[in-house]
A and B are shown apart, each in its own frame.
Chain A
Amino acid sequence: MSRIAARFASLRDQGRKALIPYITAGDPQPDVTVPLMHALVEAGADLLELGVPFSDPMADGPVIQAACERALRHHVSLTQVLDMVRRFRDTDEQTPVVLMGYLNPIEVMGYVKFAGAARAAGVDGVLTVDLPPEEAHELVDSLKANQLDPIFLAAPTSDDDRLRRMAECGSGFLYYVSFKGVTGANRLDVKSVQQKLAQIRANTGLPVGVGFGISDAESAAQVAEFADAVVVGSALVKRIAALASRPEDVAGQAPAIIAEMRRAMDGVAVAALP
């Protein structure tokens, strides 16, 4: 069983939902990332989504675009991102790590070489935003040969055929994009997400994570009522951006929002905490 599948199984046994923070690797500077990953786990993250910075992040809104730009100012490459995962694994063998990014850096490295290097570094899943499942066979074969979970994005516009196709070539979990738009837009409609999830579950037995637009503890708790995982990107990256001039404070301060979401998702009354 992959580390991702094992994590979802154990959460299910505990009756809990996964909290998955997204950060862009190397934002605001490379030495922040590994300590920040550990701090996010400490704050209550169950899986980590690590963004591979890309010059043209077409699914991302302004917040994550700016994060990519901050990382690319330090020329953070895919090879360096894999090295960050390797260093994270020195002291955390348990928390699954999903790389999220775009195809071109992987294409340039080569699918076979990338999949082998990602496996060796301790990566568990790979989400390539701009690779539709219809075109994904070659990369998916390389990933699966290295026991890596290919994770696909379903959208409000995905019909039954497409959802089944994603269920066939994906594993680990299915990522549902909660609205038609880019990351960080404030357009979450909890009711429509809930309805769509019923359709998704009719087509796949994979756990379903919901992302795009979850901005605070309240929306995280609402989505966790019916989703298996809540993905939080822009809301966290905004905190990191605010600390960009004080990189030494990022790992200490940015994860507070994840801790708040964790408490809300687990049904712990915030007021009751010391």
Chain B
Amino acid sequence: MEDSDGQIVETHSVSAGLDYPGVGPEHAWLKDSGRARYVAVTDKQALDAFHELTRTEGIMPALESSDALAYAAQLAPTMDKDQIVVINLSGRGDKDIHTVAALEGIEV
């Protein structure tokens, strides 16, 4: 992410692992070759997904993975019942409890 002079611009995401302005060459190639599509969700949607998986499955996802869960929840209703969704739960959310607690005013 850059401005018209080529200066790198500041980013924001509640997910630390997504809060950077670059894209790796593999992702750039997958996008350009049409083999992958890239979407975004809001911080709130990711946090909601974080809580949802924690409550329903007892699995606390990393906030980065929560972004994927949030989009899966939007995508699934548009699909056929027998289509399969695979989510890569790329990390565990223990590392993010202080971030979530601070946002929700919880003392840990």
> Which A residues fall within an 8 A CB radius of B?
54-56, 72, 75, 77-79, 104-109
Contact = CB atoms under 8 A, between A and B. Distances in A.
B102 to A, nearest CB: 27
A107 B7 contact: no
Contacts, number: 25
Tell me which of A79, A106, A108 has the highest count of chain B C-beta atoms within 10 A of its own C-beta: A108
A72 B6 contact: no
Nearest to B10: A55
Q: Secondary structure of the A side of the interface?
A: helix
A56 B5 CA distance: 13
B5 A77 contact: yes
State the 4 A-B residue pairs at the shortest beta-carbon distance, nearest first: A108-B6, A105-B6, A77-B5, A55-B7
5 contacts: A78-B6, A104-B7, A105-B6, A108-B4, A108-B5
B2 interface: yes
A242 to B, nearest CB: 26
Given A79-B5, A108-B5, 18 more contacts: A55-B7, A55-B8, A55-B9, A75-B5, A77-B5, A78-B5, A78-B6, A104-B2, A104-B6, A104-B7, A105-B6, A105-B7, A106-B6, A107-B6, A108-B2, A108-B4, A108-B6, A109-B6
A105 B6 CA distance: 4
Contacts of A107: 6
Interface string B1-29: 01011111100000000000000000000
Contacts of A72: 7
Contacts of A54: 7
